Amino acid sequence: MSDLNAGEQEFIQGYISLQTEMLTQEQNSIQENAVRMAGLIKAFIKSAKVTVQENIPVATTGSATAQTGKTTAKATGELS
């Protein structure tokens, strides 16, 4: 597992814990399993790093110390 990033390792450990706990329960709880699995997936997705292209054109307004602005062109982000 050394070639996995931290988010992947946390997801795997969380999944193993979830499955182990589900196996030890006396009653089948599909609902609890689904809710907890959704939480693991959400945390995994939120752990992603988004890399955006360099040199996206921007327009700014305001003084040199208090600028605001927005991009003026589309760019593609990449999960890394």
| pLDDT tens per residue, range 19-63 | 999 999 888 889 999 999 999 999 999 888 888 888 888 888 888
Which domain covers residue 55, as residue numbers?
6-79
Tokens, residue 43: 């945390």
Question: Do residues 52 and 77 lie in contact, with contact meaning Cβ atoms separated by under 8 Å?
Answer: yes
Is residue 9 very low, low, confident or very high in pLDDT (cuts 50, 70, 90)?
very high
**Rounded Cα distance, 19 and 41, in Å:** 14
Within-domain flag for 1: no
Distance, in Å, from the CA atom of 33 to the CA atom of 35, rounded to the nearest integer, reads 6
Q: Determine, yes or no, domain membership for 28.
A: yes
Does some domain include residue 72? Answer: yes
pTM: 0.64
**Total domains, the chain:** 1
Task: Please tell me the distance from the alpha carbon of residue 58 to that of residue 68, in angstroms, as a whole number.
Answer: 10
